[in-house]
Amino acid sequence: EVEETARQPGSQRTTRVLVFACLAAFALQVWLGPGVHHAGFFSAMLAARGEPWRLITANLLHAGPTHLAFNVLGLLVLGGLLERTIGSMRTALVAGLGALGATLAGLLAGYDAMVGASGIVTGFAGALLWLELRLPERLPAQWRLPRRPFVAALLADAALPLLMPEIAGAAHLGGFAAGALAAALVTGPNLQRDPLRPAAGVAVALVFAVTGCTSSAGPPRRRASV
């Protein structure tokens, strides 16, 4: 029964929408210039002063083509695998909590400006690791991740800020933790077959709570990319 789920067609609507949004935002950055970045990057001070859209738009903007390429690749690989496993709606909730968890962690770390979808990517990684450790018997063999290489990749990502201080390591950690929490909230023993409504209500409440905490925080101090 578990292996049969791998042979069923799976939707990747959430992953494709996220990738398209990142590509479209970068195209606008190239076409219209730095004004797009200034209008959309995350700033706690500006968000608290009536510009809450920055909580969303900052996750779609990128510092350059290399930054964009790495994050799009992460969305396609990790997001595609997660969405095949738990479905589009649950993946959207993981993405939302991952993005806001990264934003809140970056704020607490004192970054005065952030852009990038890495919070969502690391949120997907956290969700996949939670599934791998908590529900391995419900995952088809071809969907399971080799644990040692996966953990090694996570450790390498955690070490990157030591070599490249401009990378928002705290935001990566926040997105990862929020993604794991989101997976725990929206995923039961039967993955996509479990009712979503009660868990989704808790996840949406957390999204609003994190949004409120982030928007009402004090002025930040450092600039970083995620």
**Residues 64 and 3: beta-carbon distance below 8 Å:** no
Choose the catalytic residue: 37, 67, 172, 225: 172
pLDDT in tens, 56-112: 888 999 988 998 999 999 999 899 889 888 888 889 989 988 998 888 887 777 777
**Residues 83 and 12: beta-carbon distance below 8 Å:** yes
Active site residue 118: yes
**Residues 42 and 115: beta-carbon distance below 8 Å:** yes
CA distances from 85 to 12, 72, 91, 103, 209 (A): 10, 19, 9, 26, 27
Choose the catalytic residue: 43, 88, 118, 225: 118
pLDDT in tens, 187-221: 877 776 666 656 666 666 666 666 665 555 544 45
Q: What is the pLDDT of residue 125?
A: 92
Q: What is the pLDDT of residue 138?
A: 79
**Mean pLDDT score of the chain, rounded to an integer?**
80
Give the SS3 label for residue 166: coil
In the structure encoding, which two tokens stand for residue 141, read together? 């063999």
CA distances from 117 to 49, 63, 80, 112, 144 (A): 23, 11, 15, 17, 24
Active site residue 172: yes
